[in-house]
Structure 1
Amino acid sequence: MSDANQSQSNTSSLQQYQGILERALFSTLNTLPCCVFLFINGSMMFTLRSKDLFCQTSRYVLLFNLLVTDTLQMALSQLLYIIAACRIFLTYPVCGTLTLLTSLTTVISPLTLVLMALERYAAVCFPLRHASIISIRNTALAILMVWAFSSLDIFTQVILLSFDDLPTLQMKDFCSYAAMLVGYTSEIYNTVFTCSLFVSAGVAVISAYIGVIVAARSASADKALARKARNTLLLHLVQLGLSLSSTIYIPLLKALSRILTRIVFVRLQSVLYVCIFIFPRCLSSLIYGIRDQSIRPVLVYHLCCHLKLPVVPVRQV
C-alpha cells in the first residue's frame, strides 16, 4: 500500500514538474521575441527623435505616436502574460488599471493610422496646400484629439464597470480584458464600440486610397509620389487589419476552449499570442525602417549600438 502511495506521489510530482517546465519554456519562447521587438521599437523611436528632420515632419511625428502606443500595448500585454504564467491572481482594481491602459492603446493605434492615411491623401491631392494643412501644429492637435477621444472611451468603460455583485475584489481567474467585462452592458458597449471604430477607420483609409488613385490619373499629379502614397495606404490597410485581429483574440479563444483540451488550448494560446499581439506591434518599425530611405541608415546605426560597420572593398575582375 505504501509503495502504491509512493508511486502515486512520484507521478504527481513528475506531472507538476513537467507543468512548471512547460510553462517556463513557453514563457521564454514568448518573452524573447517580445524583448527583441521592444528593442527594435525603442531604437525606432530613438531614431525618430534624433534628427530635426523627423521631429519637424508630420508623417514622422504620427509614426512616432503609433510606435509609442504599439510599444506600450506590447509591454502591457507581455506583463499580463507573465503575471498569468506565474499564476498570480490580481485584484479587480489593479487588473482593471492594466487592461484599461491596454485598451487605450488599442483605440489610439487605428485612429493614428487614419491620420497617417489622411496625411498621404493631402500630400497627393493637395500638394500646394499640404504644408499648411498638415502642419506640425495641426498634427499635434490631431494627436491630442485622438488621445482625448480614446480617454473618453476608457472613462465610459470605467463607468460601466460594476463590482457590486462580486463577493470579493480578489480575482479567481487570471487578469485579462475579458475578465474585466463584468456585466452584460460592458460586453455590449465593447462590441459596438470596437466594430464602429474599425469600420469607420477602414472606410477612411479605403476612401483615402481611392482618392489617391483618382488623383494619380490627372495630368498634374506627381506620378512617383502618388505611387508611393498608394503603396503606403495599402500598408496602412494591412496594419489596420492586424490591429483588428487583436480584437478577435478573446472571442477566438472562447471558441477554441470549447473544442480543445486544456493542455492543447494553453499551447495554442501561446502561439496565437505571439502571432496576434506581439508581431503586429513591431510591424510598423519593420515597414518604415526598411522602406524609408531617410530612416533606414539611422535606424541600422542605432540597432547596431552605434557601431560603424567596416566597408569591404570590392575587387575589380
Structure 2
Amino acid sequence: MNSTSPQFLVRDTFTTAFVKNLIVVLLLVILNYINGSLVATFLRNQVFYEDPRYILFIHMVINDAVQLTVTITLFVLSYIFYTINVSFCCFFILVAVFTTRNTPVNLAGMAIERYIAICDPLRHAQICTVHRTYVLIGLIWLVCVVPAITDLFVTLATEPVSFFHAAVFCIRPNIFKDPVLLYKRQAFDALYFSLVFFTLVYTYLRILFAARAMSSDIRSAQRARNTILLHGAQLLMCMLSYISPSVDLLMTRVFPSKILEIRYANYLIVYIFPRFLSPIIYGVRDKKFRKYLKRYFVCKQCSSEVQHEGEEDKMA
C-alpha cells in the first residue's frame, strides 16, 4: 500500500491527539506499574522458580510490558512526528509483531500446562519440568520471530537503500510493501489462529468437564467455570491481533469518515485491553501469587513507614 494513500494522510486535531496520547500513556504507566509489581513479587520468592505455571506467567508479563512500551511509544511518535525514519520504524514494527504474537501462543502453552495439571496430575511433574518450560519459551519465540523476520529479508532484497533513509507513516503495510508478504502474513495468521483456537477449545473444555466431575461443591465448579471463561476471553481478545488488519481495512472501507476512530478503537481493544486481564487472571485471582503479592506491598509499605518515622526522629 502506498504510504501517501489518502487514508493515511488524515490527522487528528491537536486537542484530540493530545487526549488520545494522554490516555494511552496513562494506561502504559498503570500497566507497567502492575506488571513491575508482579515481576518483583516473582523475583523475591523462590517458590515460583520451580513452577512452570508461574514461569510462563512471568514470561507473558515481561513480554506484554515490552509490547505495550514499544507499541505505545510508536503510537505517540506517530501522532507527534507523523512520519518517522523507515529503519527506526522497522525496528519498532518487528519488536511489536514479535511480542504481540508471543502472547496468544504463550497463553496456549499455559492452557496445555493447566490441562496436564488437572486432567493428568500424576504425570504433571514429569511432563512439565522447569527445563522443558524454558525450552517451550524458546520455541514460542522461534515460531513467532521466524515468519516476521522473513519480511525484513524480503524488504532488504527488494527495496533500494534510499528507502531505509526515507520517512513514512509508521505502519506495517508502509514498510513491508511486497504483495507476496501480504499473502504470506495471511497464511501464517490463519495457521496461528487455527492452532491457538483449537488448543483453547480442546484444553478448556477438558478442564471444565474435569472440574465438574471432581467437584461436589457447586460453587467450586462455578468458580472453575468462571476462571476458564476468563482465560478464554483473554485468549480470544489476544487472537484478534491475527485478524485485526483485515477487520481494520474492512471497517475503514465501510466507514471512510471514521478512519481515525476505528484505528484508535482497534488499538485499544486488540493491544491494550487484553493486557489488563493478564495481571487479574494469573496474578490477583491466583491465591498463591496473591499471598506473596500482598506480602510485597505490605513489606514495602512497612519499610516506607519505618523510613518516614526515622526521618521524623532525626528532625526532632
Give the shorter-chain TM-score range.
0.7 to 0.9
User: Does the 8 Å contact 1:90/1:170 carry over to 2?
Assistant: no
Q: CA deviation at 1:274?
A: 2.4
Letter in 1 for 2:74: L
Report the counterpart of residue 296 of structure 1 in structure 2. 290
Report the counterpart of residue 252 of structure 1 in structure 2. 247
Letter in 1 for 2:198: V
User: Does the 8 Å contact 1:100/1:154 carry over to 2?
Assistant: yes
Letter in 1 for 2:53: R
Report the counterpart of residue 10 of structure 1 in structure 2. none
TM-score, with structure 1 as normaliser = 0.80
Partners of 1:216 and 1:249 in 2: CA distance:
34
User: Does the 8 Å contact 1:70/1:282 carry over to 2?
Assistant: no
* SS across alignment from 2:73: helix
Q: CA deviation at 1:39?
A: 1.1
1:155 aligns with 2:168: no
1:34 aligns with 2:28: yes
Report the counterpart of residue 171 of structure 2 in structure 1. 176
Match of 1:99 among 93, 97, 100: 93
Partners of 2:299 and 2:264 in 1: CA distance:
31
Partners of 1:36 and 1:76 in 2: CA distance:
15
Report the counterpart of residue 279 of structure 2 in structure 1. 285
Letter in 2 for 1:203: F
User: Does the 8 Å contact 2:61/2:278 carry over to 1?
Assistant: yes
User: Does the 8 Å contact 1:90/1:175 carry over to 2?
Assistant: yes
Query: Measured at CA, do residues 300 and 214 of structure 1 come closer, stay the same or move farther in structure 2, by a change above 3 Å?
Result: closer
Match of 1:47 among 41, 48, 52: 41
Query: Measured at CA, do residues 163 and 301 of structure 1 come closer, stay the same or move farther in structure 2, by a change above 3 Å?
Result: farther
Q: CA deviation at 1:80?
A: 0.7
* More helix, by proportion: 2
Partners of 1:141 and 1:41 in 2: CA distance:
23
Tell me the C-alpha RMSD between the 2 structures: 2.9
Partners of 1:142 and 1:226 in 2: CA distance:
30
Letter in 2 for 1:296: R
Alignment of 1:1-317 (within 5 A): 19-161=13-155, 164=158, 168-216=163-211, 221=214, 231-260=226-255, 264-300=258-294, 302=296, 306-308=300-302
Q: CA deviation at 1:242?
A: 0.8
Query: Measured at CA, do residues 89 and 163 of structure 1 come closer, stay the same or move farther in structure 2, by a change above 3 Å?
Result: farther
Letter in 2 for 1:20: F
Letter in 1 for 2:103: S
Aligned length: 290
User: Does the 8 Å contact 1:124/1:222 carry over to 2?
Assistant: no
Partners of 1:133 and 1:179 in 2: CA distance:
44
* Identical-residue share of aligned pairs (%): 25
Query: Measured at CA, do residues 48 and 261 of structure 1 come closer, stay the same or move farther in structure 2, by a change above 3 Å?
Result: same
* SS across alignment from 1:266: helix
Query: Measured at CA, do residues 181 and 236 of structure 1 come closer, stay the same or move farther in structure 2, by a change above 3 Å?
Result: farther
Report the counterpart of residue 7 of structure 2 in structure 1. none
Partners of 2:203 and 2:254 in 1: CA distance:
41
Query: Measured at CA, do residues 168 and 130 of structure 1 come closer, stay the same or move farther in structure 2, by a change above 3 Å?
Result: closer
Larger deviation, residues 243-252 vs 79-88: 243-252
Report the counterpart of residue 11 of structure 1 in structure 2. none
Query: Measured at CA, do residues 269 and 186 of structure 1 come closer, stay the same or move farther in structure 2, by a change above 3 Å?
Result: same
Q: CA deviation at 1:117?
A: 0.9
Larger deviation, residues 111-120 vs 231-240: 231-240
Query: Measured at CA, do residues 138 and 297 of structure 1 come closer, stay the same or move farther in structure 2, by a change above 3 Å?
Result: same
Partners of 1:146 and 1:226 in 2: CA distance:
32
Q: CA deviation at 1:195?
A: 1.4
User: Does the 8 Å contact 1:44/1:299 carry over to 2?
Assistant: yes
TM-score, with structure 2 as normaliser = 0.80
Partners of 1:214 and 1:296 in 2: CA distance:
26
Letter in 2 for 1:48: F
Letter in 1 for 2:240: S
Q: CA deviation at 1:214?
A: 4.8
Letter in 2 for 1:240: L
Larger deviation, residues 47-56 vs 270-279: 270-279
Q: CA deviation at 1:273?
A: 2.3
Which consecutive residues of structure 2, in runs of 5 or more, have no partner in the other structure?
Answer: 1-11, 306-316
Q: CA deviation at 1:238?
A: 1.5
Letter in 2 for 1:47: T
Report the counterpart of residue 6 of structure 2 in structure 1. none
